[in-house]
Amino acid sequence: MLKFSSLLLVSASLLSLAFTPKKINIPACSIYGTVSDNSSSDIIPFAGLKLFKQDTILLSSVASDMNGQYCFNNIPSGEYKLVVNYVGYTTRTIKAIKVTSTGNLKLNIKLSSNQLVLQDVKVAEKEIVHTTSNFAYKNSVGKAGGKNYTTSYNQPNRVANDFNTEEYHKIDDNEFKDSKKDPLSTFSIDVDKASYSNVRRFITQGQLPQPDAVRVEEMINYFAYNYPQPKGNDPFSITTQYMDCPWNSQHNLIHIGLQGKEVKLENIPANNLVFLIDVSGSMNDPNKLPLLKSGLRLLVENMREQDKVSLVVYAGAAGVVLPPTSGKEKGKIFDAMEQLEAGGSTAGGEGILLAYKTAKENFLSNGNNRIILATDGDFNVGTSSDGELVRLIEKQRESGVFLTVLGFGSGNYKDSKMEQLADKGNGNYAYIDNILEAKKVLVKEMGGTLLTIAKDVKIQIEFNPNKVKAYRLVGYENRLLNNEDFNNDKKDAGELGSGHNVTAIYEIIPAGSSELVASVDELKYQKTLSTVTAPNNEVMTIKFRYKEPKDTVSKLITEVMIDKKLSTNQVSDDCRFAMAVAEFGMLLRDSKFKGEANYKSILAMARSSKGKDEEGYRAEFIRLVEMAELLKK
């Protein structure tokens, strides 16, 4: 049996062998010193330190480095309160700290162990392996709870918000494909919506997003569309429309809409939910752990007696702070969440393993088994690379446990990592930038967020060269599949939740156009496929494959689109609004395919297609476009 605090200090010592921090520049520090253990005098790396003015206003937050040293820079003269915390130690508050104009106040800090115990822990060379899920402590008032602390900052003498390490995958827009030589287009559906709320965060903070943060399909799919509910045995309906292209008058557009069957909340099977919460030091900011806890409270308030909630946290190591608890015992769940504070390094891979272990131990054969991972994605201890984490998730998804990823925060946000985890974990991904977004994802859309009605949903389209000279899928760059993947049931694809809808848009160069399309040389040993006259004036054939949530064999749906092209004004409001969002996304990305796209046309189309908009999301989109136009000037 090991004290968790001692375990983390051992882990930190191992890390220090491969990490040499920069020396703190003492003359530049307003307040500096060392954090150490009160009884052993061992240094404490990754401790979280928060400096408050007027007792409650957070002025700055830093973390101690691998030598236990910390530094607050550029603190004005005045009186302050300092709060210091670390996993396994009692939080210490130091009041009436006086900073003068000369600065250089040295303040060494001793922390006392709170006797947090983690049983049966094996310390491996590269990671800590837990052989039991018992993880708890008694705080000063005797309530059960848990604390983990960490930081991802590798420049200890700088305030966390002074630099930006956000990460996004590079996106190259889909090119036009010649329908004679490449008639098939295959991709996985995407119900993630993180990109839109992340783009909103950039714009409302007064800056345009970087192009790779803009995934056009996620922006389009952020909004609800009034597609018809499915009538047959299949779990989704299919809607198609063929129209003029608003940003290129020489092109056409094809609009495809899927609508998932809506399951009423009272009819959703019992939930086995494991909240996997990042309580590392990088989660210290108000828009991270505090917002996370407020959002999860909204979800718990809607839990039923038959639902079970577990709480797993991770920082330098991982542990279970709340065993499976009935949704009826909301007070107990809230108490456990309220005990969480942030500080330390981030062993995300270890937390994921423990969460899956917890979910599988309490698996409901006829229920919904899901992990809800809430993090900024800044993993820096143990299994942390994108490749390692993806392989870990791919192995675990075979258990029948689904994954929802909720992203929080800015500055060190790792969008690229979290998008991959949700994609490979049979799950969905949302970015929570405010409490209203938390309500949208975890309350209003809870059925779709938590209940999967179809998995591995793939789309394959065959274009008729007599009608289509070339085509381009708008967005979905990270979801493209090889054509042979469509019939391969072992190939993972996207999941569709209860009530979810999915929209895809193709930009079409019509047959007979004189526009040049990039192509390869004529083949020497094979003849180019000759076209035939398609029956019934067909533009394309659409094929869908999907699996029931517990099945391993897919089902096939086939639809045909007839050449009945409409003008932009003749199509539905939903279709025109989706086009406005797509056009906005291409403009933000400065896509080479944006054609004549401009803010004036986007606003005109969005305003004319706003519809009822009971929740106000479309009106908010219009305001974002207006703000982006001003920022562009």
Q: Counting Cβ atoms within 10 Å, is residue 15 exposed (0-12), middle (13-18) or buried (19+)?
A: middle
Give the mean model confidence (pLDDT) for residues 367-385: 72
Q: How confident is the model at residue 256 (pLDDT cuts 50, 70, 90)?
A: very high
What 3-state class would DSSP assign to 38? coil
Residues of the chain by 3-state class (helix, strand, coil), percent to 5: 30, 30, 40
| Cβ burial, residue 124 (10 Å; 0-12/13-18/19+) | exposed
Topology of the domain covering 177-263+453-519+530-632: Immunoglobulin-like (2.60.40)
pLDDT of residue 317: 59
Q: What is the separation, in whole angstroms, between the first and last Cα of the chain?
A: 62
Cβ contact 46:151 at 8 Å = yes
Structure tokens at 7: 């375990």
DSSP 484: G
Residue 303, Cα to own-chain centre: how many angstroms? 22
Q: Which residue has the higher pLDDT, 296 or 65?
A: 296
Strand pairing report for 271-278 and 308-314: parallel
For the cut 80, the answer to whether the pLDDT of residue 522 exceeds it is: no
C-alpha dihedral sign at 563, 568, 571, 572: positive
Which contiguous run of DSSP H or E holds residue 439?
A: helix 435-439
**Tokens, residue 439:** 């309500």
How many angstroms separate the CA atoms of 610 and 224, rounded? Answer: 12
Residue type, 440: K
**Higher per-residue confidence, 259 vs 9:** 259
Does 2 have pLDDT greater than 50? no
Q: State the pLDDT at residue 601.
A: 95
Query: Please, which pLDDT band fits residue 344 given cuts at 50, 70 and 90?
Result: low
Tokens of 67: 């030598």
Least confident of 164-178, 381-395, 453-467, 587-601: 381-395
Report residue 254's pLDDT band, with 50, 70 and 90 as the boundaries.
very high
Confirm if 594 and 587 have CB atoms less than 8 A apart.
yes
Q: Of 58-67, 113-122, 298-307, which gets the smallest average pLDDT?
A: 113-122
Encode pLDDT of 491-506 as tens digits. Answer: 988 888 888 899 999 9
Alpha-carbon span 608 to 586, nearest angstrom: 20
- Tell me which DSSP letter residue 77 carries: S
pLDDT at 385: 54
Phi, psi of 500 (to 5 degrees): -65, 145
What CATH number was assigned to the domain covering residues 267-450? Answer: 3.40.50.410
What CA–CA distance (Å, rounded) separates 277 from 292? 9
Q: Which residue has the higher pLDDT, 380 or 186?
A: 186
Query: In this model, does residue 126 exceed pLDDT 50?
Result: no
Q: How many helices (H) and strands (E) does the chain have?
A: 13, 30
Is CATH 3.30.465.10 the right assignment for the domain spanning 2-115? no
Q: Which DSSP symbol is given to 424?
A: H
Q: Are 585 and 219 in contact (CB under 8 A)?
A: yes
SS3 category, 570 = helix
- What does the block give as tokens for 118? 């983690």
Which tops the pLDDT comparison, 107 or 411? 107
Please give the C-alpha separations between residue 145 and each of 44, 157, 323, 358, 405, in angstroms, as whole numbers: 22, 32, 11, 17, 23
**Using N-to-C axis directions, what is the helix angle for 573-589 and 599-608, rounded to 10°?**
160
**Sign, CA torsion 377/418/384/350:** positive
Q: Cα(115)–Cα(4) distance, rounded to whole angstroms?
A: 8
For the chain, the domains span 2-115, 177-263+453-519+530-632, 267-450
What region does 38 belong to: left with phi over 0, alpha with psi -120 to 50, or beta? alpha
